[in-house]
Amino acid sequence: MELIQAVILGVVEGLTEFLPISSTFHLIFASKILGIPETNFLKLFEVFIQSGAILAVVFLYYKDFVSNRALLKNIAFSFLPTMIIGFVLYSVIKKVFFEAYGAMVLVFLLVGALFLGVEWLVKKNKIQLKNPLGKLTVKQAVIIGLFQSLAVMPGVSRSGAVIIGMMFLGFKREDSAKYSFLISVPTIIAASLYDLFKMRNELTTNNTNVVLLFIGFFTSFVSAYFVIKWFIGFLKNNTLNVFGAYRILVSVLLFLSGLVK
Protein backbone atom coordinates (compact mmCIF):
# COMPACT_ATOMS: atom_id res chain seq x y z
CA MET A 1 0.00 0.00 0.00
CA GLU A 2 1.25 3.47 -0.90
CA LEU A 3 0.92 6.69 1.10
CA ILE A 4 -1.72 8.27 -1.16
CA GLN A 5 -3.76 5.06 -1.04
CA ALA A 6 -3.73 5.17 2.78
CA VAL A 7 -4.97 8.77 2.66
CA ILE A 8 -7.77 7.92 0.22
CA LEU A 9 -8.93 4.93 2.25
CA GLY A 10 -8.83 6.99 5.44
CA VAL A 11 -11.08 9.63 3.87
CA VAL A 12 -13.43 6.95 2.52
CA GLU A 13 -13.67 5.43 6.00
CA GLY A 14 -14.41 8.76 7.66
CA LEU A 15 -17.03 9.70 5.09
CA THR A 16 -18.87 6.38 5.24
CA GLU A 17 -18.48 5.03 8.81
CA PHE A 18 -21.47 6.86 10.24
CA LEU A 19 -23.63 7.07 7.16
CA PRO A 20 -25.89 4.02 6.64
CA ILE A 21 -23.95 2.84 3.59
CA SER A 22 -21.37 0.42 5.11
CA SER A 23 -17.84 1.77 5.46
CA THR A 24 -16.36 -1.75 5.22
CA PHE A 25 -18.13 -2.29 1.91
CA HIS A 26 -16.74 0.98 0.55
CA LEU A 27 -13.23 0.26 1.82
CA ILE A 28 -13.18 -3.19 0.23
CA PHE A 29 -14.29 -1.96 -3.18
CA ALA A 30 -12.18 1.21 -2.99
CA SER A 31 -9.17 -1.06 -2.39
CA LYS A 32 -10.09 -3.15 -5.43
CA ILE A 33 -10.48 -0.03 -7.62
CA LEU A 34 -7.11 1.31 -6.37
CA GLY A 35 -5.48 -2.04 -7.14
CA ILE A 36 -4.31 -2.67 -3.57
CA PRO A 37 -3.39 -6.35 -3.02
CA GLU A 38 -5.65 -8.33 -0.69
CA THR A 39 -3.27 -8.97 2.21
CA ASN A 40 -3.66 -9.51 5.94
CA PHE A 41 -2.35 -5.99 6.47
CA LEU A 42 -5.09 -4.54 4.26
CA LYS A 43 -7.72 -6.35 6.34
CA LEU A 44 -6.09 -5.00 9.50
CA PHE A 45 -5.92 -1.49 8.00
CA GLU A 46 -9.61 -1.54 7.03
CA VAL A 47 -10.64 -2.36 10.59
CA PHE A 48 -8.08 -0.30 12.52
CA ILE A 49 -8.69 3.04 10.78
CA GLN A 50 -12.30 2.84 11.96
CA SER A 51 -10.95 3.78 15.39
CA GLY A 52 -9.99 7.16 13.91
CA ALA A 53 -13.63 7.76 13.10
CA ILE A 54 -14.51 6.67 16.63
CA LEU A 55 -12.22 9.33 18.08
CA ALA A 56 -14.43 11.90 16.36
CA VAL A 57 -17.46 10.52 18.26
CA VAL A 58 -15.59 10.83 21.56
CA PHE A 59 -14.72 14.46 20.76
CA LEU A 60 -18.29 15.37 19.86
CA TYR A 61 -20.16 13.41 22.56
CA TYR A 62 -17.70 13.49 25.44
CA LYS A 63 -20.31 14.85 27.89
CA ASP A 64 -22.72 12.00 27.13
CA PHE A 65 -20.06 9.45 28.05
CA VAL A 66 -19.03 11.07 31.34
CA SER A 67 -22.35 12.33 32.70
CA ASN A 68 -25.14 9.93 31.64
CA ARG A 69 -24.93 6.65 33.56
CA ALA A 70 -28.23 5.30 32.25
CA LEU A 71 -27.03 5.83 28.69
CA LEU A 72 -23.71 4.13 29.43
CA LYS A 73 -25.58 1.10 30.82
CA ASN A 74 -27.66 0.85 27.65
CA ILE A 75 -24.53 1.18 25.49
CA ALA A 76 -22.97 -1.73 27.38
CA PHE A 77 -26.03 -3.93 26.83
CA SER A 78 -26.09 -3.03 23.13
CA PHE A 79 -22.40 -3.88 22.84
CA LEU A 80 -22.66 -7.37 24.36
CA PRO A 81 -24.46 -9.17 21.48
CA THR A 82 -22.08 -7.67 18.92
CA MET A 83 -19.03 -8.62 21.00
CA ILE A 84 -20.15 -12.23 21.40
CA ILE A 85 -21.14 -12.74 17.76
CA GLY A 86 -18.03 -10.96 16.47
CA PHE A 87 -15.75 -13.12 18.64
CA VAL A 88 -17.46 -16.38 17.70
CA LEU A 89 -17.54 -15.60 13.97
CA TYR A 90 -14.12 -13.87 13.73
CA SER A 91 -12.56 -16.42 11.37
CA VAL A 92 -15.68 -16.62 9.20
CA ILE A 93 -15.86 -12.83 8.96
CA LYS A 94 -12.23 -12.54 7.82
CA LYS A 95 -12.00 -15.59 5.56
CA VAL A 96 -15.52 -15.71 4.09
CA PHE A 97 -17.52 -12.50 4.52
CA PHE A 98 -14.66 -10.16 3.52
CA GLU A 99 -14.11 -12.08 0.27
CA ALA A 100 -17.68 -12.87 -0.79
CA TYR A 101 -17.97 -9.88 -3.13
CA GLY A 102 -21.15 -10.96 -4.89
CA ALA A 103 -22.89 -11.55 -1.58
CA MET A 104 -21.70 -8.16 -0.30
CA VAL A 105 -23.22 -6.32 -3.25
CA LEU A 106 -26.47 -8.28 -3.00
CA VAL A 107 -26.72 -7.46 0.72
CA PHE A 108 -25.89 -3.81 -0.03
CA LEU A 109 -28.77 -3.69 -2.52
CA LEU A 110 -31.28 -5.50 -0.29
CA VAL A 111 -30.59 -3.21 2.67
CA GLY A 112 -31.14 -0.25 0.35
CA ALA A 113 -34.53 -1.69 -0.58
CA LEU A 114 -35.22 -2.19 3.15
CA PHE A 115 -34.55 1.52 3.78
CA LEU A 116 -37.12 2.44 1.14
CA GLY A 117 -39.60 -0.04 2.59
CA VAL A 118 -39.25 1.21 6.16
CA GLU A 119 -39.60 4.83 5.08
CA TRP A 120 -42.76 3.87 3.16
CA LEU A 121 -44.17 2.33 6.37
CA VAL A 122 -43.33 5.53 8.24
CA LYS A 123 -45.06 7.61 5.57
CA LYS A 124 -48.17 5.42 5.88
CA ASN A 125 -48.07 5.74 9.70
CA LYS A 126 -47.48 2.01 10.12
CA ILE A 127 -44.37 2.99 12.07
CA GLN A 128 -44.50 6.11 14.22
CA LEU A 129 -41.21 7.77 15.18
CA LYS A 130 -42.05 9.39 18.50
CA ASN A 131 -39.65 7.99 21.10
CA PRO A 132 -36.70 10.11 22.28
CA LEU A 133 -33.39 8.47 23.20
CA GLY A 134 -34.07 9.06 26.90
CA LYS A 135 -36.90 6.48 26.77
CA LEU A 136 -34.58 3.64 25.72
CA THR A 137 -34.87 0.55 27.96
CA VAL A 138 -32.32 -2.20 28.65
CA LYS A 139 -34.44 -4.71 26.71
CA GLN A 140 -34.52 -2.39 23.71
CA ALA A 141 -30.76 -1.83 24.05
CA VAL A 142 -30.16 -5.58 23.73
CA ILE A 143 -32.45 -5.78 20.68
CA ILE A 144 -30.54 -2.90 19.09
CA GLY A 145 -27.30 -4.74 19.81
CA LEU A 146 -28.64 -7.75 17.91
CA PHE A 147 -29.45 -5.49 14.96
CA GLN A 148 -25.92 -4.08 15.11
CA SER A 149 -24.43 -7.57 15.07
CA LEU A 150 -25.93 -8.10 11.59
CA ALA A 151 -23.22 -5.74 10.33
CA VAL A 152 -20.57 -8.48 10.60
CA MET A 153 -21.47 -8.96 6.94
CA PRO A 154 -19.92 -6.15 4.86
CA GLY A 155 -22.66 -4.29 3.02
CA VAL A 156 -25.15 -4.22 5.90
CA SER A 157 -23.76 -1.10 7.66
CA ARG A 158 -23.48 -1.01 11.43
CA SER A 159 -25.07 2.45 11.68
CA GLY A 160 -27.73 1.49 9.12
CA ALA A 161 -28.69 -1.64 11.06
CA VAL A 162 -28.92 0.30 14.32
CA ILE A 163 -30.97 3.13 12.80
CA ILE A 164 -33.42 0.75 11.14
CA GLY A 165 -33.73 -1.32 14.32
CA MET A 166 -34.46 1.76 16.39
CA MET A 167 -36.96 3.08 13.84
CA PHE A 168 -38.85 -0.23 14.13
CA LEU A 169 -38.92 0.44 17.88
CA GLY A 170 -40.36 3.90 17.26
CA PHE A 171 -37.29 6.08 17.86
CA LYS A 172 -36.67 9.29 15.93
CA ARG A 173 -34.16 9.12 13.09
CA GLU A 174 -31.74 11.66 14.54
CA ASP A 175 -31.78 9.97 17.98
CA SER A 176 -31.27 6.60 16.32
CA ALA A 177 -28.25 7.98 14.45
CA LYS A 178 -26.80 9.48 17.63
CA TYR A 179 -27.14 6.17 19.47
CA SER A 180 -25.49 4.36 16.56
CA PHE A 181 -22.54 6.75 16.98
CA LEU A 182 -22.33 6.15 20.72
CA ILE A 183 -22.45 2.34 20.63
CA SER A 184 -19.86 2.34 17.85
CA VAL A 185 -17.21 3.40 20.39
CA PRO A 186 -16.89 0.13 22.36
CA THR A 187 -17.75 -1.95 19.30
CA ILE A 188 -15.06 -0.62 17.00
CA ILE A 189 -12.41 -0.13 19.69
CA ALA A 190 -12.82 -3.79 20.67
CA ALA A 191 -12.67 -4.93 17.02
CA SER A 192 -9.58 -2.79 16.32
CA LEU A 193 -7.68 -3.98 19.41
CA TYR A 194 -8.58 -7.62 18.73
CA ASP A 195 -7.42 -7.29 15.13
CA LEU A 196 -4.17 -5.65 16.26
CA PHE A 197 -3.54 -8.55 18.62
CA LYS A 198 -4.37 -11.23 16.04
CA MET A 199 -2.26 -9.57 13.32
CA ARG A 200 0.52 -8.06 15.46
CA ASN A 201 3.16 -9.65 13.23
CA GLU A 202 2.06 -7.31 10.42
CA LEU A 203 3.39 -4.40 12.48
CA THR A 204 6.62 -5.88 13.82
CA THR A 205 7.85 -7.03 10.41
CA ASN A 206 7.39 -3.71 8.58
CA ASN A 207 7.71 -0.24 10.16
CA THR A 208 6.05 1.32 7.10
CA ASN A 209 2.82 -0.42 8.05
CA VAL A 210 2.71 1.51 11.34
CA VAL A 211 3.01 4.81 9.43
CA LEU A 212 0.25 3.81 7.02
CA LEU A 213 -2.06 2.90 9.92
CA PHE A 214 -1.45 6.29 11.55
CA ILE A 215 -2.17 8.16 8.30
CA GLY A 216 -5.39 6.21 7.74
CA PHE A 217 -6.37 6.80 11.37
CA PHE A 218 -5.83 10.58 11.17
CA THR A 219 -7.59 11.16 7.84
CA SER A 220 -10.49 9.01 9.02
CA PHE A 221 -10.82 11.11 12.19
CA VAL A 222 -10.91 14.44 10.35
CA SER A 223 -13.45 13.42 7.70
CA ALA A 224 -15.69 11.59 10.21
CA TYR A 225 -15.81 14.63 12.50
CA PHE A 226 -17.54 16.74 9.84
CA VAL A 227 -19.78 13.93 8.58
CA ILE A 228 -21.20 13.27 12.06
CA LYS A 229 -22.17 16.91 12.57
CA TRP A 230 -23.81 17.05 9.13
CA PHE A 231 -25.69 13.74 9.37
CA ILE A 232 -27.62 14.54 12.57
CA GLY A 233 -28.88 17.79 11.04
CA PHE A 234 -29.77 16.01 7.81
CA LEU A 235 -31.95 13.41 9.55
CA LYS A 236 -33.96 16.05 11.41
CA ASN A 237 -35.56 17.08 8.13
CA ASN A 238 -34.97 14.16 5.74
CA THR A 239 -35.54 10.42 5.36
CA LEU A 240 -33.27 7.47 4.55
CA ASN A 241 -34.63 7.28 0.99
CA VAL A 242 -31.58 8.94 -0.55
CA PHE A 243 -29.32 6.30 1.03
CA GLY A 244 -31.62 3.51 -0.13
CA ALA A 245 -31.54 4.83 -3.69
CA TYR A 246 -27.74 5.26 -3.50
CA ARG A 247 -27.29 1.64 -2.40
CA ILE A 248 -29.42 0.30 -5.23
CA LEU A 249 -27.66 2.45 -7.85
CA VAL A 250 -24.15 1.52 -6.66
CA SER A 251 -25.07 -2.17 -6.54
CA VAL A 252 -26.31 -2.13 -10.13
CA LEU A 253 -23.19 -0.28 -11.30
CA LEU A 254 -20.89 -2.75 -9.54
CA PHE A 255 -22.66 -5.74 -11.07
CA LEU A 256 -22.37 -4.11 -14.51
CA SER A 257 -18.72 -3.07 -14.01
CA GLY A 258 -17.32 -6.57 -13.85
CA LEU A 259 -15.74 -6.00 -10.40
CA VAL A 260 -18.17 -8.55 -8.95
CA LYS A 261 -18.10 -12.12 -10.20
Q: Which of 160, 216, 214 is nearest to 12 (CA)?
A: 216
Residue type, 95: K
Number of structural domains (the chain) is 1
Q: Is residue 261 part of a domain?
A: no
Q: Which of 56, 24, 35, 4 is nearest to 220 (CA)?
A: 56
Q: Which of 141, 3, 126 is nearest to 72 (CA)?
A: 141
Q: What is the pTM of this model?
A: 0.89
Which domain range does residue 156 map to?
Answer: 3-256
Asked if 188 contacts 13 with a C-beta cutoff of 8 angstroms, the reply is: no
| CA–CA dist 80, 255 (Å, integer) | 35
- Give start and end residues of each alpha helix (H) in 49-172: 50-60, 62-67, 69-88, 90-95, 101-123, 138-149, 158-168
**How much is the CA Rg of the chain, to the nearest whole Å?**
18
Count of C-beta atoms within a 10 Å radius of residue 261: 6
The pLDDT tens digits along the chain (261 residues) read 889 999 999 999 999 989 999 988 898 889 988 999 888 788 778 878 888 999 999 999 999 888 889 999 999 999 999 888 877 876 666 666 667 788 889 999 999 999 999 999 999 999 999 999 999 999 999 999 999 998 888 889 999 999 999 999 999 999 999 999 999 998 888 877 877 777 767 666 666 778 898 999 999 999 999 999 899 999 999 999 999 999 999 999 998 887 776
Q: Could you give the count of Cα atoms lying within 13 Å of 199 in the half-sphere of its Cβ?
A: 25
Q: Is residue 17 part of a domain?
A: yes
Q: Which residues pair with 131 in a beta bridge?
A: 171
Residue 89, classed as helix, strand or coil, is coil
Q: Is residue 42 part of a domain?
A: yes
